Structure 1
Amino acid sequence: MLGAPNPVELPDGGSWQEFGALLRHWRRHAGWTQAQLGAAVGYDHTAVSRLEHGARRATPRLARRIDELLGAGGELTRSHDRAESAEGDRPALPPHLLRPPLPTGPAPAPGTGPVPAEDCPASLPDHDVQCPLHGATGCQPPPPATALALHAAFCADPAAPLDTDTVHALAAVLAALLGSQLHGTERAVGERGPGTAIEATLRAVVARLADAPVRHRRVLARLAAEYAHAAGSLRLHGGRPATAMACFDRALGWAALAGDPTTQAAALSDMAVLGLLDDDPAAAGDYAREIRRAAPGRHWSEALAELGEARATALAGDTRTTVRHIGRARQHLDRPDRTLPDTEARVPWLAPAALRLRVESGSSAALRDLAAATADPRLARHALAAATAALDLLGDGQLPVARAMLTVRIADCHLCTDDPHPALAALAPLLTTDGTPLPALVRHELRGLRGRLVAGAGRWGAEAAEVAVRLGAVV
C-alpha cells in the first residue's frame, strides 16, 4: 500500500510517514479530531490530514507544540528530528518538474464525472496506459464507480491518501479519457472534451510532487508523465503545437525521473513530429536521435529513431539517406530483441504489429515527401505501397485519426504518380463532413495534397479544381 502506514506497523525510522503515523496515534489517544488539533495550532484540518499522511513536512516549532498539546512526551519531536535528518539526504527536484506545463485552466463542470463508468477499463494496460506500480505486467483497477470516486477525491483533496487503489484509479481514468477521445464518446466531459479532465488531473498530480516522500516520487512522476503526454497529444491533434511541445517536454522530464524509457520515447517521437510540422527537419532529426539515448540497445528504439531520421532527411530532399534509414528501421523490426525487460515486452504500442504499423506509416510519409520534392513516380509508388500496408494493419474502427491520415496520404501518392482519379475517389468521404474540424495532422496532410491539386488542375480537369476549392474550406 502506498498510503499512510498503520500506527502499529510503523515504517523504518526517519520518514515523514513515521511522524504522520505517530501524530495520528497520539491525536486519537488524546481524543482530538483533526479539526480540533488544527484549530489549536492555527491550521486547517486538511493540513493536519496531510501531516498524518506524510504528505507535508512539519516545522520544528509546530512539532514541539503538537507534542506538548497531545502529551506525547517528546516522541513526536524526536520523530520530527529523524525525518528532518533523512530529508537532508533526499535530492531536491528540479523546479520545472514541480510546475505543470500549462497554467490553471477550467475544471470539469460540477456534478459530472470525467467519463461514464462503463468506459473505465477492467484491466491495465489499456489504450497504452500502464499502471505505475505494475507496468506492462498488468493489473486490475477498482470497479468503475470506485475508480471514479477515488479519482475525484484525489483531485479535490490535496490530503487524500495515495494508496494502491488510487494509483490504479488514476491510470484507469486516463485510459478511459483517451478511449473516449479515440472513439468519439467523450460524454459527461463538457464542451472542452477529455483534455480538460486530463489537464486538471495532471495539475493535481504535480501538486503532490513537491512534498512527496521518496517512495511516492517515482509513482507520481510516472503518472505525471503519462498525463502530460496525453495532454500534449490532444493539444497536437487540436492544432496547438506550442502547448503540445510544452506538455511533451515536461513529460520527458517526469518519465526520466520515473525511469520510464517507453514514455520518453513516445514523447520524443511526438516532438520530432512537431519539428516536421514546423518545417524544421534539423530539429526533427535531433529529437529522433534522442530516442536511442532514452532507450539504448532496444530494437524498437532503433527502429523509431531510424524512422524519425528518415522523415527528417526526406524533408531535406536527401533520397539516398532517407531510403537507407527506412531500410534500417525495417531491419530492426525483422530482428527484434528477444531479451527485452518485461516492462517493455508487453507494452501494447511496442507489439510487433503496432511497431510495423508505425514504421510503414512513417515510411510512406517520408517516401511521399521525397516523391513530391523530386517528381519521381517510382518513389510515389513505393510510398503508396507502404501507406496501403499501414492501412491494412489497422483493424476496423481502430484509430480513426490514423485511418483518415493514411487515406489522405494514399490519395496524395496517387497524385504524385499523376493519377488523379483514385485520389479524388479516396478523398470523397473526407469532403462530406458534419462540420467537425479535422485533426491537425490530417489537415497538415491535406494542405500539401491541396497544393498539388491546385498545381495540376490545369491538366487534371474541372473535378480536380473543384475538389481543391472544397479542400480550401476544410483545411
Structure 2
Amino acid sequence: MSVGTSPAVDAGWGEFGRLLRFHRRRAGLTQLQLGRRVGYHHSFISRLEGGLREPPFDLVNRLDAVLGAGGGLVALIASPPAAPCAPGLLPTAPTLFSPIPGGDAPDVDSPGVLSGDTPSLTAQPWPSRLPAEGLACPLHGRVGCATPDREAVTDLLAGLTGPYDRVGETAGAEAELLHGLTAVLACLIREAFGRASDACASTVERLLRGVARWAEAVNAGGRLPSGQLRLAAQYAQVAGRLRMERGQGGVAMAWFGHGLRWADAARDAEARATLLSDMSTLVRLDGDPASMLGYAQAIGAVDGKRRWMMTLADLYQARAYALGHDVAACRRHLSTARRRFARLDDRDRLEAPWLSGAEGVLRVESAVGGALRDLAVVTGDRAVARRAVEATARSYALLPPVMRSTRLLLTLRLADSWACAGDPVAAVTLAGPVLEEAVGARELMVAVELRGLHRRLAGRWGDLPEVREYRERARAVSE
C-alpha cells in the first residue's frame, strides 16, 4: 500500500510532509543533514515527510527557518484540517498525549503509592525542597520551591484519579500537586537506582500515565499545560531508563520518544538534551553506531551556547565514532569534551548539577573510559586500552557506596580494559569477586559489559590457566 493511501497517514500531515520534502530538496539537504540542523534523528524527518507523524510543537518554526520556506510550513500547520485548538493551546493529536505504553491500564492506585504497597519507598528521605535528585520544579525551575509534607501527598495524588475538571482547581492546588509529584519521583529515583524494583518501575509508569492524562485535560480545558508536560517528560525519562536497564528497548524508546515530544511542547531544552542522551545510549546498546551518532549530534543542536549540552554531545559522539571505527573523530571529540567540561560556568552547573564537582568528573571519566575501551576493542591498540584503564579507574574512585549498579558496571569495564591492554590476569582478578553478582544482575548495561569481557578473554587468553578457571566458574554460576 502506498503512503498516500495508507490509513495511518493523516491527510493534513501528508500535505505538510510533501511540502517539507519539497523545501528540503530545494535547499539541497539530505534528511540526515536536516535532522542534525533541527536536532532530530533523520528517521523522524523521514516519518514527517511521509505524513506519518505530526510535527512536534516548536519544530515547525525551526524547519521553516532552516529551509528558508518563507513561512509556508508555518502557514500550513496554522490551519490544519483537524478541529482547531484555542489560541495558545497544544493540538490534542494522538502523537502528543496518546497512545502511551500501558495507556489502557487502570488509573493510579493513589493510596498505595506511598504506603504499604511499596514499603521501601517510605524509607527514602523526603525532599523538603526542589530541586531534588536533579529534578527542578516544573513550574518555577531551580528557585528552591518547598514541597508538601509526605502525609499530604497521598491526598494530592487522589486528584489524578478524580474528575479531571477538578484537578488543581486553583493555582496553589496545582502547584502543590506538581511539587508533590516531583518529590515522589525523587524518592522513586533513589529507590529504583539504588535497588532495582519492578514495583517501583510500575509506580513510575502509573503516575506518568496519570500526569499525561492530567496534561491532556488541562489543555482541553483551555490552558497550556506547561508544568504538567515538563513533569511528564521527567517521569518519561525515568520510566525509559528503568525499561532500558531491563533490556526492554522498544518500550524504553517509546517512553523516551513521548518525553521528547512533551519536552518540545513545554520548550524544555534541558529535558530534551538529557532524553536524547538516553536515546543515544539505548541505540548503542542495540549495536547501532549510526543512530547513536545521529542522537548525539542532536544533543549539540539543542543549544550550542550551553557548554554542558555540548560536552554531552561530544562524549556521546566519541562513543559513536569509536563503535564506527573512526579513531581520529573519537579522539577529537574526547579532547573537546574535556576542554568544554573544564570551562563549565555557573549557568551550566545550575542546569546540570550532576555534571559538576566530583559527580561531573565521575560521569565524564566514565564516558571517556567507555569510548577508549571501545576504541581499543576495534583497533587492538594496547596504549589506548591503558588510557581506558586510567579514565575508568578515576571514575571508579569517585563512586559513592550507594551506586551499586554503577560500581558493578565500572568494575567490569575496568577488567575489560585490562584485558584489552594485554593483562588478562588483572582482568580476572578484578572481575572474579563480582562475577556472581554480575551474572545475576538484571541491568542490560551490566550484561553488555560482561559479554564483552568474556569475548575478549575467550578470544585471546582462553588457554591461560587463570582464564580457564574463571570461565569454568562463570559457566557454573550461569547454570
- 2:237 aligned with 1:236, yes or no? no
Q: Which has the larger radius of gyration?
A: 1
Counterpart of 1:130 (choices 136, 159, 170) is: 136
Any conservation in 1 of the 2:290–2:320 contact (CA below 8 Å)?
Answer: yes
Give, in whole Å, the separation in 2 of the partners of 1:451 and 1:176: 38
Correspondence for 2:378: 373
> Secondary structure of the equivalent of 2:164?
coil
* C-alpha contact (below 8 Å) 2:90/2:224 kept by paired residues: no
Given that residues 372 and 388 in structure 2 are in contact (C-alpha distance below 8 angstroms), is that contact kept between their aligned partners in structure 1? Answer: yes
Mark the CA change 1:271 to 1:469 in structure 2 (over 3 Å): closer, same or farther.
farther
Which amino acid letter does the alignment assign opposite residue 411 of structure 1?
A: A
CA-to-aligned-CA distance 1:392-444 (integer Å, 9 cap, x gap): 222232x2222111111000011112212221121123223398533110111
One-letter amino acid of the counterpart of residue 453, structure 1? L
2:191 alignment partner in structure 1: 180
Partner of 2:354: 349
Structure 1 residues without counterparts, runs of 5 or longer: 1-83, 187-191
Cα gap change, 1:137 to 1:353, in 2 (>3 Å): farther
Match of 1:429 among 425, 429, 433: 433
Whole-angstrom CA distance in 1 between matches of 2:211 and 2:441:
31
Amino acid aligned to 1:321: A
CA distance in 2, matches of 1:380, 1:330: 18
Q: Report what 2:255 is aligned to.
A: 247
Cα deviation, 1:339-372, whole Å, max 9, x if unaligned, reads x38xx72543232433332221111111111111
Distance in 2 (CA, whole Å) between partners of 1:322 and 1:85 is 48
Partner Cα distance (1:356, 1:88) in 2: 45
In 1: Cα distance, 2:352 partner to 2:130 partner? 11
Give the equivalent residue in structure 1 for 2:98: 99
TM-score by structure 2 length? 0.74
Equivalent residue, structure 2, for 1:113? 113
Instruction: Name the counterpart of 1:464.
Output: 467
CA distance in 1, matches of 2:293, 2:85: 43
CA contact (8 A) 1:100 1:203 kept: no
Matching residue of 2:285:
277
State the Cα distance separating 1:469 from its structure 2 match: 4.5
- 1:322 and 2:368 correspond: no
> Cα offset for 1:85?
11
**Structure 1 residue 387 and structure 2 residue 361: aligned?**
no
Supply the distance in 2 between the matched residues of 1:107 and 1:326 (Cα, whole angstroms): 46
Measured after TM superposition, the shift of residue 337 of structure 1 is: 3.7
Partners of 1:110 and 1:126 in 2: CA distance: 22
Contact map agreement 1:298 1:337 (CA 8 A) in 2: no
The CA RMSD measured in Å over matched residues stands at 2.6
Q: For residues 98 and 107 of structure 1, do their structure 2 counterparts lie closer, same or farther at Cα, with a shift above 3 Å needed?
A: closer
Q: Using a 3 Å threshold, how does the CA distance of structure 1 residues 429 and 221 change in structure 2: closer, same or farther?
A: same
Alpha-carbon contact 1:420-1:464 (below 8 Å) kept? yes
Q: Does structure 1 conserve the Cα–Cα contact (< 8 Å) formed by 2:237 and 2:275? A: yes
Paired with 1:328 and 1:376, the residues of 2 have a C-alpha distance of 21
Give the one of 167, 170, 177 matched to 2:178: 167
Corresponding residue number in structure 2 for 1:10: none
Residue 148 of structure 1: how far off its partner (Å): 2.8
**TM superposition shift of 1:93:** 4.3
Q: Is the 8 A contact 1:118 1:144 kept in 2?
A: no
Residue identity opposite 1:318 in structure 2 = D
1:225 equivalent in alignment to 2:224: no
What residue identity is the alignment partner of 2:300?
Answer: R
In structure 2, distance between residues paired with 1:373 and 1:454: 16
Separation (CA, whole Å) in 1 of partners of 2:123 and 2:304: 39
Residue 51 of structure 1 corresponds to none
Moved more, 170-179 or 419-428: 419-428
Question: Taking structure 1 as reference, are residues 110 and 350 closer, same or farther at Cα in structure 2, changes over 3 Å only?
Answer: closer
What is the match of residue 312 of structure 1?
A: 320
Identify which of 150, 157, 162 aligns with 1:151: 157
What secondary structure sits across from 1:210 in the alignment? Answer: helix
| Contact 1:349/1:355 (8 A) holds in 2 | yes
Q: 2:414 aligns with which of 410, 416, 422?
A: 410
One-letter amino acid of the structure 2 residue matched with residue 309 of structure 1: Q
The equivalent of 1:199 in structure 2 is 205
Q: 2 CA distance for matches of 1:106 and 1:403?
A: 37
Q: Deviations over 1:195-217 (max 9, x none)?
A: 11111111111112333146451
Match of 2:215 in 1: 209
Cα-to-partner distance string for 1:231-263 (whole Å, 9 max, x where unaligned) = 000001111111111111111111111121121
97-106 vs 86-95, which deviates more? 86-95
Identify if the C-alpha distance between structure 1 residues 91 and 264 changes in structure 2 by more than 3 Å, giving closer, same or farther: closer
Distance 1:385 1:158 in 2: 54
TM-superposed deviation, 1:373 = 1.5
What does residue range 8-87 of structure 1 map to in structure 2 within 5 Å?
A: 87=86
CA deviation map 1:3-61 (0-9, x unaligned): xxxxxxxxxxxxxxxxxxxxxxxxxxxxxxxxxxxxxxxxxxxxxxxxxxxxxxxxxxx
Which letter maps to 1:298? R
Q: Is the 8 A contact 1:437 1:474 kept in 2?
A: no
Measure, in 1, the Cα distance between the counterparts of 2:178 and 2:306. Answer: 28
Q: Is the contact between residue 106 and residue 196 of structure 1 (CA under 8 Å) also seen in structure 2?
A: no
Are the structure 2 counterparts of residues 456 and 165 from structure 1 closer, same or farther at C-alpha, using a change threshold of 3 Å? same
Would the alpha carbon gap of residues 377 and 112 (structure 1) be closer, same or farther in structure 2, given more than 3 Å must change? same
1:85–1:311 distance in 2 versus 1, CA, 3 Å: closer
Shift of 1:264: 0.9
Query: What is the TM-score with the length of structure 1 in the denominator?
Result: 0.74
**Residues 438 and 446 of structure 2 are in contact (CA less than 8 Å); yes or no, is this contact kept in structure 1?**
no
Q: Is the 8 A contact 2:319 2:370 kept in 1?
A: yes
Q: 1:445 aligns with which of 445, 449, 458?
A: 449
Unaligned runs of 5+ in 2: 1-82, 169-173
Moved more, 431-440 or 283-292: 431-440
Q: Is the 8 A contact 1:151 1:173 kept in 2?
A: no
Cα-to-partner distance string for 1:314-345 (whole Å, 9 max, x where unaligned) = 0111212111110000010112244x38xx72
Does the 8 Å CA contact 1:105/1:196 hold for their aligned counterparts? no
| Alpha-carbon distance, 1:174 to partner | 0.9
